[in-house]
Amino acid sequence: MSETAAKTDPNAKTMTIIVTKGSLDWAYPPFILGTTAAAMGVKVEMFFTFYGLALLLKNLDLQVSPLGNPAMKMPMMGMHMGLPNLMAAIPGVEAAATVMMKDLIKKKGVASIEELREAAVESEVNLIGCQMTMDLFEYKKDDLIPGIQVGGAATYLEKALKSDLNLFI
């Protein structure tokens, strides 16, 4: 089934995802699931709210933090190690961890978030930016990528109530 068929086919399955996190690591699950579902003929709606709205900014500058994240093990000194919070809090450590994570992503053939977001747009995933978050964090429509819808809780819920699958990430 083509994407356009998914858009018009009234029997196409539907999925919504609420995207609330804007760090590099948390950006992956919603974009991977959204793009894959679209590839499988599912009509997908993604609602970006709070920190998740940063994923719709034209210029993505995503960071990952080892602070308070004991499961984050990075390859260091020939093994995979976590960083104690005391060290993770040192200025510059977060930037270094982000560089390491991006290197790892590249090395392992994992898509970049830019690439996945592009795929989402291409496969006609409907991207909805949260109006309240735009006001709260003072984002202008022009700061966000073109072609997105802007709406609020009711906009999302109307879609979610009719959807086969709703995720909160």
Partner 1 sequence: MADQTLDAKGLNCPLPILRTKKALKDLPTGKTLEVLATDPGSVADMQAFCRATGNELMESGEAAGVYRFLVRRTG
Binders of partner 1: how many residues, by CB under 8 A?
16
Give alpha helix (H) positions in 43-125.
85-88, 93-107, 113-122
Stretch touching partner 1 by CB under 8 A, among 61-69, 87-95, 102-110, 154-162: 102-110
Rounded to a whole number of angstroms, the minimum distance from the CB of residue 165 to partner 1 is: 12
Under rule CB under 8 A, residue 2 binds partner 1: yes
Q: What's the rounded Cα separation, in Å, for the pair 56 and 2? A: 25
Strand pairing report for 165-168 and 149-151: unpaired
Cβ-Cβ contacts under 8 Å for 141 (sequence gap 6 or more) = 134, 150
78 CB neighbour count, 10 Å cutoff: 6
Rounded to a whole number of angstroms, the minimum distance from the CB of residue 160 to partner 1 is: 21
Q: Which is nearer to partner 1, 83 or 120 (CB)?
A: 120
45 CB neighbour count, 10 Å cutoff: 21
Burial class (CB in 10 A: 0-12, 13-18, 19+), 47: buried
Stretch touching partner 1 by CB under 8 A, among 30-38, 81-89, 134-142, 153-161: 30-38
Interacting residue with partner 1 among 12, 74, 89, 110 (CB under 8 A): 110
Interacting residue with partner 1 among 14, 36, 69, 155 (CB under 8 A): 36
* Residues binding partner 1 (CB under 8 A): 1-3, 5, 32, 35-36, 39-41, 108-111, 119, 123
